Homo-oligomer: A and B are copies of this chain.
């Protein structure tokens, strides 16, 4: 029997929706999964070890990275939040991750970026990974920051990164937009595995989408990852269409990749209401 490819993988955000899937999916790749989250992680398995801390805690982040081969960084605020939260968890927190990687000799970071880093682009532009960033929210802005942080750590320090621009990863497509934006949990795991195992990635950006019928972007520039989604939304289409109103083609939330994020106001205004 072959030894697993890695000794220890650190998964941040391991208590989250996708983190839970990754625990299952990445288990065969490593002797040990080190799980990190600010929330308590349930049902620790024999191949797992768990740590609870906040990403803004630099010392805790660095301690968690010690002894790790690669990092799967899915932690941080998973959607729009007040600026200070975004700044601390996503910007400062991700800096701690990359600095920890540099200090502890980690060679590759897989990062959960998001469609919201490019949310104001339109489906009909069929952008590829070379298109300019165009965030639709402060959340998306922090994703842009971390993508560029990864680029800097590759160019300057030789640490590889793959930024996965995940569209909508949920158990099943919940609305009409997700009929094209869905990334199934299994495909999400496949994407992370491809990013972990591709021979050479430098600093790569890949879109994260299942093999849905409607294709909004061009993922050609990530073809060296070898990611091939296997799921699609056709089995859910009839139910979704029956239970939701048809889209208005003049609505920016229908035209833009970011969906309803493009109509969000400033999160601090919202929070103060």
Count of this chain's copies in the oligomeric assembly: 6
Q: Which residues of B contact A81 (CB under 8 A)?
A: none
Q: How far is the CB of A28 from chain B (nearest CB, A)?
A: 12
Report whether A249 and B214 are in contact in the complex, using a CB–CB cutoff of 8 Å: no
Q: Which residues of B contact A228 (CB under 8 A)?
A: 213
Identify the stretch in A9-17, A36-44, A45-53, A146-154 within 8 Å (CB) of chain B at 4 or more residues: A146-154
Interface residues of A in 238-257 (CB under 8 A from B): 238, 241-242, 246-247, 249-250, 254-255
Selected from B212, B224, B250, the residue in CB contact (under 8 A) with A216 is B224
Which residue of B is nearest A140, CB measured? B152
Interface residues of A in 104-122 (CB under 8 A from B): 107-108, 120
Q: Which residues of B contact A264 (CB under 8 A)?
A: 156
Report whether A148 and B133 are in contact in the complex, using a CB–CB cutoff of 8 Å: yes
Which residue of B is nearest A145, CB measured? B145
Report whether A238 and B156 are in contact in the complex, using a CB–CB cutoff of 8 Å: no
Report whether B218 and A225 are in contact in the complex, using a CB–CB cutoff of 8 Å: no
**What band does the interface of chain A fall in when counting residues whose beta carbon is under 8 Å from B?**
35 or more
Identify the stretch in A18-26, A59-67, A194-202 within 8 Å (CB) of chain B at 4 or more residues: A194-202
Report whether A134 and B155 are in contact in the complex, using a CB–CB cutoff of 8 Å: yes
Identify the stretch in A71-79, A87-95, A165-173 within 8 Å (CB) of chain B at 4 or more residues: A87-95
Known: A124-B224, A130-B130, A155-B262. 10 other contacts (CB 8 A): A108-B249, A120-B155, A132-B151, A134-B151, A137-B152, A144-B148, A145-B148, A200-B255, A216-B224, A218-B223
A180 at the interface (CB under 8 A from B): yes
Selected from B107, B136, B176, the residue in CB contact (under 8 A) with A155 is B136
A187 at the interface (CB under 8 A from B): no
A235 at the interface (CB under 8 A from B): no
Measured CA separation A141–B5 after assembly (Å): 33
Report whether B199 and A226 are in contact in the complex, using a CB–CB cutoff of 8 Å: no
Q: Which residues of B contact A220 (CB under 8 A)?
A: 126, 218
Selected from B176, B198, B216, the residue in CB contact (under 8 A) with A223 is B216
Selected from B141, B200, B204, the residue in CB contact (under 8 A) with A254 is B200
